Amino acid sequence: MMIQISKFTPVWACCLLLMVVGCQTSKPADFFQPVTLQERSIQTRVFETDDEIKILNACADLLLDNGFRIREVESRLGWIDAAKIKVTIYGGIYGAHASVVTRRVSGRPNAIAVRVIFHRFEKVDDAAVYQEFFLKLSQAVFIEAQEL
């Protein structure tokens, strides 16, 4: 006995598969996966200084120079939250967000680690953006940025 396969059967099968896949919702735990070491390394640089406030101020100035608006600062936690929103000539909205966190490096009393994460609708992964930020920061504080 032969089963006749209509030419539409694979199409229906694909639709059904897509529906099943579409119905699967991601669990909250799926969003608790740590970033890779490489990603963290791109976002972080160490500066040979014990003056955390100086580094934090330089970060705030740098963000302001690049059109960001400082939204929140908590110097005791070494944290700056900044954003910029621009309306393009075509009426579209362009938004970017920067989150800077500074901390003392354990075992190195004269070292401050700076971690910056940029978002433009989603996380910015382009290493060149981070390199440019840290290069400008090094120039501002006259201290060379080292990789973690």
**End-to-end Cα spacing for the chain:** 69
Q: Is 26 in the site for another protein (CB under 8 A)?
A: yes
Give whole-number Cα distances, 129 to 24, 56, 90, 135, in Å. 35, 19, 25, 10
Contact between 109 and another protein (CB under 8 A)? no
Q: Is the dihedral of CA 52, 58, 64, 67 positive or negative?
A: negative
Kindly write out the interface string for residues 30-69 of this chain, putting x where it contacts another protein by CB under 8 A and - elsewhere: -xxxxx----x-----------------------------
Q: At 125, phi and psi to the nearest 5?
A: -105, -5
Binding another protein (rule: CB under 8 A), the pick from 13, 16, 77, 85 is 77
- Residues near another protein (CB under 8 A): 26-29, 31-35, 40, 72, 74, 76-79, 81, 97, 99, 101, 103, 115, 117, 119, 122-123
